[in-house]
Chain A
Amino acid sequence: MKAGHRRRLDTSEKWFALLLRLYPVHFRRRFEPEMFELFRERRAAARTIPSRARLWVSIVLDALRASLRERAPHPRWNLEMAMQDVKHAWRGLRRAPAAPFFIVLLIAIGIGSTTAVFSIVHGVLLRPFPFGEPDRIVLAWEKRNAVARNTVAGHEFPEWKARSRSFASLAAIAFDRDFTLTGAGEPAALNGVRVTAAFFDVMRVRPVVGRPFGEEADVPGHGDVVVLSHRLWNDQFARDAAIVGRTIQLNDRPHVVAAVMPEGFDFPANGSGEPPDLWTPIAEPIQQYRGRHYLFVVGRLADRVTLAQARSELEGIAFGIAKEFPSNREHTVNLQPIQSELTADSRNPILVLFAAVGIVLLVGCCNVANLLLARAKVRQQEIAIREALGAGRWRIARQLLTEAGILSVAGATAGLVLASWLLELGRTALPAAVPRIGTASLDPVVVAFTGFLALATTVIFGLLPLSSTFAVDASERLKSGAKGVPRSTRQPIQSLLIVLEVALTVALAIGAALLLQSFTHLNRVDPGFVPRGITAMDLTLPSSRYADTNAQRRFFAELVTALSGDPGIESVAATNMVPQSGSRSGLPIAIPGRPSRAPGDELMAQYRVVTTGYFRALGIRTREGRTFTDSDARLAVPLIRWFERQPVPLFFDEPQPVPIAVINETMAREMWPGENPIGREFRALFSPPIKIVGIVTDTRNAALSEKPVAEFYLSDLQEPQQRMTLLVRSTSDDGGTATTRRHVARFDPQLPIAHVRTFESVVHGNLALHRFTSSVMSAFAAISLLLMIAGVYAVISYATAQRTHEVGVRMALGATRIDIGRLIIVKGLALCAIGAVLGVGGGYALGRTARMMLYEIEAADPLTYGVLLGLVLCVATFAAWIPARRAMRVDPASVLRNE
């Protein structure tokens, strides 16, 4: 009969044959050959790939629908049967509502928290970035000694670009300039990035209108074009499509709008995680900025070039550069895929949270399984009766599955509600620096994930009781049921569940404790300055009106003087880099009179430019010498020159105060060990000798978790800045913002004040991720601990109840109450101890995963482990003690009478 299709099947026919397995045997026997024939006919008609895809979708859906109908236990229609199952299950659940209620609650907590965290995992880590072929885009860093990710210097990038063949395009990005938009209402301070034209070839994102600038814009002097972000286009230009070709005033210079990028294109965000408002060309002789590390480099790999090939090529080029520029020795290249790079900082905490939430889900599931098992035991008799009355096993299994299904669907629905609430909470609690956190949502992928979890719980927990039910013969169950005493008191599944629950809880508790301690340590760290009560505001002087460094110096000096004379302001200072704001700037240091260090091994120090009152305003104490005074003002500014042939400033030869610096304790200790550095001199990059006049206490300027590094301060009177952040301490409610605005407007009404924030929020913002992960982990650990207590209690008390008869007999034979208590507790504790030991291993694994977030604590901290083991075992003993006490009170006479 079947000879016709017994020939070899090709791949797609094999798939179809697999699909046919869905149908009942009798259906297949009758129709299979013809169905094959129809399939071949359809396949032959579908030649293009899309039509093939459509064919397969329709074939699979058709098979699912039709086979379900064929498999329906009643020929007419399945729906009413299913409804009957649901009604029956509902009646069953209503009869004893407590257990189902807890099951739904447990599933809701498990699925809800898992879904919330998964939506963050998906939104932040997994979803591809909205770039063209994002997996071909890489970020390139300079790598030297201890620093894996150094920004690229001006003399390096042009060499990389010219010599490499591995990239379809290679672009540089610089964040070193602020932008002020004028001529469109209030002057607005904007986040602008400067990029080379190749940036748009690398990203391959099509603008909404216009075309991005091309290579001609890279030529110095031709950079007055701009690409707008969708947000800026929307907010400032009301989505005017005719904007392209028009001129806007940026930093008082006319810029021609070339294009508008699409919504959601937010690359590259600056150090504070803020998305760019506009992109303009770098358009400067980059190669002249030798030794100035200010470029971020992004590239698109050429076709068929792997990351490793590109990396080794760039390393070769870096080696070549090092030969020409000895200061580049030991500098190599670090090439990373953009997706992992952009999510690098948040990857670790988020994955740790995901592991934690997975543990909560598992512990919750253990409890659900326990409850269902207990229910199944109770219902064994009911099931046995139904089986004896002729209900097939399939019918009973369907009944149990329907029950589990109702519980899972109810739990998952409640879980989704919980998840959306938790997600909202998480989005506000997580720092804005976590990229794309705002876009994490319960999108279809996440809901599908929830659906999968619900389905898995249904199948596993619906079938688990079934296995134990059918393991015993129905007649046995009827017999033993009649007696009310099950034959076996051994509960292998329950014991396993206890071990698992305890192990998971211990692991999670250890992880949470490690993170919590790290956070506490971090919170106690003294940053070395007092941020409380200070408001920070950014001010950027446009080059057009303040091209002269002396004009810049004068502006800030006069503004600070005016502000400090205002009665509403307690203290005022300014700096070019707010501590802990993510930016840093290191310079090589040379000390006259000492042999120069080998290239690549120079002394390095961070530096900041500050106003005279900075140290007092921030509560930084002077250790020795003095800090800056107004009489330090120099005519010949600035001190730091970025390339060797940069012309010396005006009035260089005039008599004036010498260049001075204040250094921190670490720099004093590292560079002048055992000496008094006051009065000594050093050079930074190509600066003239700078004299040290004072030593101040260390501050943690990079991050609370980073130890202070060598750092020196320059006075803005000697090193004027175009961009400064005002740090204002005021008693007024708005932190002195209004007063500052008034004064600034008096000096220059065209100048916008940007980015008003409290200094405390800057410092706290850096801790936000730590605070978030450690508190969420602790919450998860607490939930898990509670669930574990409930689980241990439930299993042991159930087992004890089953052993009432045995206990009665033992007591009648002379066992004391203490013996009985020990019997019960020891059994429970033995299981918990096994679990706890396994949990320690899990805790260590979790701690290792989270080690990047650990501060002043090891992943293998013996104290933490000891305390938590003790705690969990105490709690477990308590959970076992309640049923043990009940067993100790058993009256042997009454038990034996019942026999």
Chain B
Amino acid sequence: MKPPRRSPTLDARALAFLPLTPAVLNILVSLSADDRHGLGIAADVKAFTGGRLLLGPGTLYGTIKRLLEAELIVDLPSPSGDEDDPRRRYYRITPLGRRVLELETEGLASILGTARRRVPKRT
């Protein structure tokens, strides 16, 4: 299945980011579903990895900062719903970020498929 829009320039830019570090991958995966603030990302990642990946504060916000600089995500003004905590900033994945995530996922899916075929399952 191919994604609907493919821009060669976007792909070229996106490929430069591969492969992703686990922190980047997980943050992008988390933001691919919804806009979230930092704590939200940490909680989401913890939830969908079943607690196996706990992003440390430095890793989390350091990665967020680099993702912002690389324009894979952008930050949003805090939505009105979170007025009690004006400190929290929300982050949203950019089209570039989404493309990076797609390419990485394809790569991972292919290696996963190969691995599933070749490595006998333990019973």
Interface residues of A (CB under 8 A from B): 1, 4, 23, 27, 30-31, 33-35, 37-39, 41-42, 58-59, 61-63, 65-67, 69-70, 75
Contacts and interface: CB of A to CB of B under 8 A. Distances in A.
B85 A65 contact: no
B59 interface: yes
30 contacts: A1-B86, A27-B62, A27-B65, A30-B61, A31-B57, A31-B61, A33-B87, A34-B37, A34-B39, A34-B57, A34-B87, A34-B89, A35-B58, A38-B39, A39-B57, A42-B54, A59-B56, A59-B57, A61-B56, A62-B58, A62-B59, A63-B58, A66-B56, A66-B57, A66-B58, A66-B61, A66-B62, A67-B58, A70-B62, A70-B65
Interface in B37-61: 37-39, 42, 54, 56-61
Given A70-B62, A75-B69, A63 B39 contact: no
Contacts of B59: 62, 65-66
B65 A4 contact: no
A1 B42 CA distance: 22
Interface residues of B, number: 21
Nearest to A61: B56
Contacts of A42: 54
Nearest to B61: A31
Contacts of A66: 56-59, 61-62
B56 A34 contact: no
A38 B38 contact: yes
Contacts of B61: 27, 30-31, 34-35, 66
B39, B60, B61, B64: residue with the most chain A Cβ atoms closer than 10 Å: B61
B88 interface: yes
Contacts of A38: 38-39, 42, 57, 60
B13 interface: no
A62 B56 contact: yes
A69 B62 contact: yes
B57 A1 contact: no
Contacts of A31: 38, 57, 61, 64-65
B55 to A, nearest CB: 8
A27 B65 CA distance: 9
A39 to B, nearest CB: 6
A153 B42 CA distance: 70
B90 to A, nearest CB: 12
Contacts of B62: 27, 66, 69-70
A69 B54 CA distance: 19
Contacts of B38: 31, 34, 38
4 closest Cβ pairs, A-B complex = A66-B58, A62-B56, A35-B57, A31-B61
Interface of B: 37-39, 42, 54, 56-62, 64-66, 69, 85-89
A27 B60 CA distance: 12
A4 B58 contact: no
Given A1-B87, A59-B56, A65-B59, 6 more contacts: A31-B57, A34-B57, A37-B39, A38-B42, A70-B58, A75-B66
Interface class of chain A by DSSP: helix
Contacts of A65: 58-59
A61 to B, nearest CB: 8
A235 B93 CA distance: 69
A67 B56 CA distance: 12
Contact of A58 (B39, B56, B87): B56
A31 B39 CA distance: 11
B39 to A, nearest CB: 6
A31 B38 CA distance: 9
The CB with the most chain B CB atoms within 10 A, among A41, A58, A66, A67, is that of A66
Contacts of B57: 31, 34-35, 38-39, 59, 62-63, 66
Nearest to B68: A30
B42, B56, B59, B66: which has the most chain A beta carbons within 10 Å? B56
Nearest to B65: A27
Contacts of B39: 34, 37-38, 41
Given A1-B87, A33-B87, A58 B54 contact: yes
Nearest to B66: A75
A1 B88 CA distance: 11
Contacts of B37: 34
A61 B55 CA distance: 12
B6 to A, nearest CB: 27
A39 B61 CA distance: 12
Nearest to A23: B58
Contacts of B65: 27, 30-31, 70
Nearest to B64: A31
A62 B62 CA distance: 10
Contacts of B87: 1, 4, 33-34
B18 to A, nearest CB: 15
A801 to B, nearest CB: 51
Contacts of A35: 57-58, 60-61
Contacts of B60: 35, 38
B77 to A, nearest CB: 14
Which of B42, B58, B85, B87 has the most C-beta atoms of chain A within 10 angstroms of its own C-beta? B58
B88 A34 contact: yes
A70 B58 CA distance: 9
Nearest to A5: B87
Contacts of B88: 34
A543 B42 CA distance: 77
A30 B62 CA distance: 11
- For A27, A33, A34, A58, the residue with the greatest tally of chain B CB atoms inside 10 Å of its CB is A34
B10 to A, nearest CB: 21
Contacts of A39: 57
A4 B86 CA distance: 10
B105 to A, nearest CB: 24
Contacts of B56: 58-59, 61-63, 66
B83 to A, nearest CB: 13
Looking at B57, B69, B88, the one whose CB has the most chain A CB atoms below 10 A away is: B57
Nearest to A31: B61
A43 to B, nearest CB: 11
Contacts of A67: 58
A70 B60 CA distance: 12
A37 B82 CA distance: 15
B19 to A, nearest CB: 14
A38 B36 CA distance: 14
A429 to B, nearest CB: 50
Residue from B62, B64, B66 with most neighbouring chain A CB atoms (10 Å):
B62
A569 to B, nearest CB: 73
Contacts of B58: 23, 35, 62-63, 65-67, 70
A24 to B, nearest CB: 10
Contacts of B86: 1
A4 B88 CA distance: 11
Given A35-B61, A65-B59, A4 B85 contact: yes
Nearest to B63: A66
B103 to A, nearest CB: 20
A4 B66 CA distance: 26
Nearest to A35: B57
A280 to B, nearest CB: 52
A732 B66 CA distance: 83
B73 to A, nearest CB: 14
Contacts of A41: 39, 42
Nearest to A55: B54
Contacts of B69: 75
Contacts of A27: 61-62, 65
Nearest to A62: B56
Contacts of B85: 4
A789 to B, nearest CB: 51
Nearest to B75: A30
Contacts of A59: 56-57
Contacts of A69: 62
A42 B57 CA distance: 10
A61 B59 CA distance: 10
Contacts of A34: 37-39, 57, 61, 87-89
Nearest to B23: A66
